[in-house]
Amino acid sequence: MIDLYTWTTPNGRKVSIMLEELELPYKAIPIHIGKGEQNAPDFLKISPNNKIPAIVDHDTDLSIFESGAIMVYLAERTGRFLPTETAPRAQVMQWLMWQMGGLGPMLGQAHFFLRNNKGLSQPAEERFAKETQRLYGVMDRHLTDSHYLGPDYSIADMACFPWIARHDWHEVDLREFPNVLRWYRELADRPAVQRGYQVPADAGPIPMPE
């Protein structure tokens, strides 16, 4: 059994989607970050950086924090969604790292300036709006010639999907990125993605362009 400490954020949904895809038994434990529950001493023992998600795998007696590390661990533990051959593994890992180091942090800044604090800083709004458009473009160009981010459906796709699901927060019209839109619709139709998106609480349907 796996304990998943999570909240209804893109980083949290990465792992719940993966657990649903793997059909591993797990228990979702909500950590309400708006109430500061991530700072509780018991949670800090599991996630010293006071961030969700984190897991405790009681089958292996391991606790792991950081969403990317959790996803690689689960993939290696089960032998799924991360190739073992060098070239395809490298392709999946580079897109996972692109999400961890680029897409996630930059879209997080877009959330802060474009949605939550509109008018706070015009230069910041312009900067992160521009970078958001650039990152969507990077993804769209790659998906022109590749059905998924890696050779097949993988942890890279699962990691990116919950961030793209907030495209309205980014002031992005997905119809301007047709390859991303095709990829997004396909993933949104997956039952495991639909289930994982609603962990640990029902957040409404996955957003879709009109």
User: What is the domain range of residue 14?
Assistant: 2-78
Residues 107 and 146 in one domain: yes
Q: For residue 201, what pLDDT is reported?
A: 95
Residues 122 and 141 in one domain: yes
- Please report whether residue 96 resides in a domain: yes
Pairing verdict, β 54-57 and 2-6 = antiparallel
Residues 93 and 186 in one domain: yes
Q: Which two tokens stand for residue 156?
A: 């890279």
- Please report whether residue 63 resides in a domain: yes
Q: Which domain CATH number covers 103?
A: 1.20.1050.10
- Please report whether residue 178 resides in a domain: yes
Domain finish residue from 18, 50, 78: 78
Minimal CA–CA distance to 197: which of 149, 154, 152, 165? 165
Residues 105 and 181 in one domain: yes
Give the separation between CA 4 and CA 85, rounded to whole angstroms.
29
Residues 96 and 184 in one domain: yes
Is the Cβ–Cβ distance between 19 and 4 less than 8 Å? yes
Give the separation between CA 198 and CA 17, rounded to whole angstroms.
9
> What's the sign of the alpha-carbon dihedral 134, 21, 91, 146?
negative
Q: For residue 210, what pLDDT is reported?
A: 76
Residues 93 and 178 in one domain: yes
Which residues, including other chains, have CB under 8 Å from residue 95's CB and lie 6 or more apart? 142, 149, 150, 156, 160
Total number of domains constituting the chain: 2
Tell me the pTM: 0.97
Minimal CA–CA distance to 167: which of 126, 129, 123? 129
Q: Which two tokens stand for residue 91?
A: 């392709």
Domain finish residue from 54, 78, 102: 78
Residues 26 and 72 in one domain: yes
Residues 186 and 109 in one domain: yes
Residues 166 and 91 in one domain: yes
- Please report whether residue 209 resides in a domain: no
pLDDT tens-place values along the chain, 210 residues long? 999 999 999 999 999 999 999 999 999 999 999 999 999 999 999 999 999 999 999 999 999 999 999 999 999 999 999 999 999 999 999 999 999 999 999 999 999 999 999 999 999 999 999 999 999 999 999 999 999 999 999 999 999 999 999 999 999 999 999 999 999 999 999 999 999 999 999 999 999 987
Q: Which domain CATH number covers 30?
A: 3.40.30.10
DSSP one-letter string for 122-171: HHHHHHHHHHHHHHHHHHHHHHHH-SSSSSSS-HHHHHHHHHHTTTTTTT
